[in-house]
Chain A
Amino acid sequence: MYNNALNLLSILILISSFVLIANKRQNSYISTFRFQSLLLASISLLVSIRGMLVHKKFDEVFIIFLLIVLFKVILIPMVLKRTSQKVEYTVEKDFFINIPISMLICGGLVVLSWYVIYSIEGITNLDTKNYLIYSMSVVMIGLFFMISRKKAIGQIVGFLVIENGMFLAAMLTTEGMPMFVEFGLFFDLLTAFLIMGIFVFKINDTFESIDINKLKNLKG
């Protein structure tokens, strides 16, 4: 039952990253990212509740759950939305490769990670294999999202999705890493996010657009 629920949630995360690839507009990236983080939060809630029931003591993963809800579900999407409202954009088409082909490429990425994980010897648990495939595909799709979008905000969302995928792998294969590692990850994420957010404004100031294609232009 528990494994089934985790399986369902992890596959929903995979589907949500496919939805992210199919999105066209910046606001829908952000809400899809929020949905994905909500799914990640529910996975950590499940893991923590099970840990509490099995070991009969307070599980640290619960704090991770609260942190995910606070940062990834509420704070970061809110700030991103505010940023995208402040930064004007005029280019309608935001991607280099059109959507059906990028969907096919992402399907290929899932097959690739399936192949890679299957050729690793030593993973005996079928469910672990499955979780690893999903989380690795989410990481790959996040990378692909980063290289296929023109706008700086799309790239921030791609970075956050990569982070989500790594978190998913850590959560599902180890049932919660040590607290310090998790805090370090969160701190890293927040710093990177803040720097990127400032950079978006800087790019917008200098080039009057956040289209990163224009970064090639020389500016005196």
Chain B
Amino acid sequence: MITSILKLIVQIIIILLIAPIFTGVIKVLKAKAQHKIGPSIFQPYYNLIKLFKKDLVVSNTSSWIYNVAPYIYFVTSLTALLCLPLVNQLVGFTFYTDLLIIVYLFVAGRVFMALAGLDTGSAFGGMGSSREMLVSALAEPALFIIIITVSARTDIASTNVSSIYNYMVNHTELAFTPINLLLFVSMLMVLIAESSRIPVDDPSTHLELTMVHEAMVLEYSGRHLAFIELGTHIKQLVFMTFMANILIPVGFNVANIFLGFGIYLLKIFVITILVALVELNTVKLRLYSIPNFAAIAFIVSVLGFLTSFILK
């Protein structure tokens, strides 16, 4: 009991330390590809430290939802990441959870963020909330089908994380099957849609035509904004961990914890490079083109589901 709690604490500390760096890596890679100098990899950390030092500005007309939403968003993202096995030895509380819980944790956080966006009564907040709900509703079917396909491949066909984990540890050769490739492509698109990356949402601008996530959190400042940003970094890491540990379980069964952690970081880094490549080669889609993007993700995941019947 004590050791599992200790493991959980270690895992939380590791997550908080490594989550923002991948956003920094994407920024640096994009800047280098465009022959710019770019910020340091640790820029997200500096931003977070700066935001934690600043004062809060809260609108007079806002209610308690406005104050509580950033914390709920942060905690739900962190809990979702703790549901997934990070390294072979550090499994968090994966032995009690279900993969579908991850989806519902995100929904809970997102509902509070959308309510908070509506809460202050500004025009931008409401617009951002409605757009964010649209994007998430479009990305959800693909995510569900991915989860169901992953669980249908285990021996007892359950969505329990521990049974999937046990299956993956013993079947690392599954990594390069067509099913996993299809699910990987679909999951990459879901990752882009959910963590507000470029073809769906531009996280670096504050232009009213293109903002989705940014418009919703426009009113926040100081500590609240820091928690929201940290929550977004962690949310991105959840999808990357899903792709790295469940869809490509290569090197996941290494007994040595440090070696396993190194392999994990390497896989996440490769996925980060993929995301940066997608960002470099595409432009921001119009809001009405996002259903097309989501339809591709959905169809690709359905194909993965079908293929899992052919190739058992």
Contact B310 A133 (CB under 8 A): yes
Point out the residue from B181, B295, B302 that lies within 8 Å of A100, measured CB to CB.
B295
A15 at the interface (CB under 8 A from B): yes
Contact B299 A107 (CB under 8 A): yes
Q: Which residues of A contact B291 (CB under 8 A)?
A: 100
A22 at the interface (CB under 8 A from B): yes
CB within 8 Å for A7 and B311 given contacts A15-B185, A100-B291, A100-B292: yes
A residues contacting the other copy or chain, number (CB 8 A)? 24
Contact B306 A111 (CB under 8 A): yes
Q: Which residues of A contact B185 (CB under 8 A)?
A: 15
Point out the residue from B178, B294, B296, B302 that lies within 8 Å of A11, measured CB to CB.
B178
A12 at the interface (CB under 8 A from B): yes
Contact B303 A107 (CB under 8 A): yes
Cα distance A107–B307 when bound, in Å? Answer: 12
B182 at the interface (CB under 8 A from A): yes
Q: Which residues of B contact A129 (CB under 8 A)?
A: 310
B176 at the interface (CB under 8 A from A): yes
Contact A126 B310 (CB under 8 A): yes
CB within 8 Å for A22 and B296 given contacts A126-B311, A130-B310: yes
Nearest Cβ distance between residue A137 and chain B, in whole angstroms?
9
Q: Which residues of B contact A110 (CB under 8 A)?
A: 303, 306
Cα distance A163–B243 when bound, in Å? Answer: 34
Q: Which residues of A contact B83 (CB under 8 A)?
A: none
Q: Which residues of A contact B292 (CB under 8 A)?
A: 22, 99-100, 103
Nearest Cβ distance between residue A51 and chain B, in whole angstroms?
22
Contact B306 A8 (CB under 8 A): no
Give me the interface of B with A, judged by CB distance under 8 Å.
176-178, 181-182, 185, 291-292, 294-296, 298-300, 302-303, 306-307, 310-311
Would you give 25 A-B contacts (Cβ < 8 Å), ordered by A? A4-B176, A7-B177, A8-B176, A8-B178, A8-B181, A10-B178, A11-B178, A11-B181, A11-B182, A14-B303, A15-B182, A18-B299, A18-B300, A19-B296, A99-B295, A100-B292, A103-B298, A103-B299, A104-B295, A107-B299, A110-B306, A114-B306, A126-B310, A130-B310, A133-B310
Given contacts A10-B178, A100-B294, could you give 12 more A-B pairs where the C-beta distance is less than 8 Å? A4-B177, A7-B178, A11-B181, A15-B182, A22-B296, A103-B296, A104-B295, A104-B299, A106-B299, A110-B306, A114-B306, A114-B310
Name the 7 nearest CB pairs between A and B, nearest first: A100-B295, A11-B178, A99-B292, A103-B295, A107-B299, A7-B178, A103-B299
